Amino acid sequence: MAHAIAWGLYKQRRDIGRLTLGAFKRSKRLGVTILVDVKGGTDLVPTTVWDAHKMTLIEFAKNI
């Protein structure tokens, strides 16, 4: 699911960025934050994968 979200962000890349001093500046890198299970579900740790749309599904899973 997170890989599909990364692909969707890539398709909307023109609209993702920040307003800096009144001007819109596009982000060069796209990141997807995922909560990863640690210690059997008692703790969830957020991890960010940058430019996941460039990865295959197997590479993405290994990165997580």
pTM over 0.85: no
pLDDT at 62: 87
The residue written with tokens 């909560």 in the block is 35
Which residues does residue 38 pair with via DSSP β-bridges, in sequence order?
A: 43
45 Cβ contact partners less than 8 Å away, ≥ 6 residues apart: 35, 36, 38
Q: What are the tens digits of pLDDT across the range 1-27? A: 888 888 888 888 888 888 989 899 888
Q: What are the tens digits of pLDDT across the range 25-63? A: 888 888 889 888 887 777 888 989 998 888 888 988 888
d(CA 60, CA 51): 10
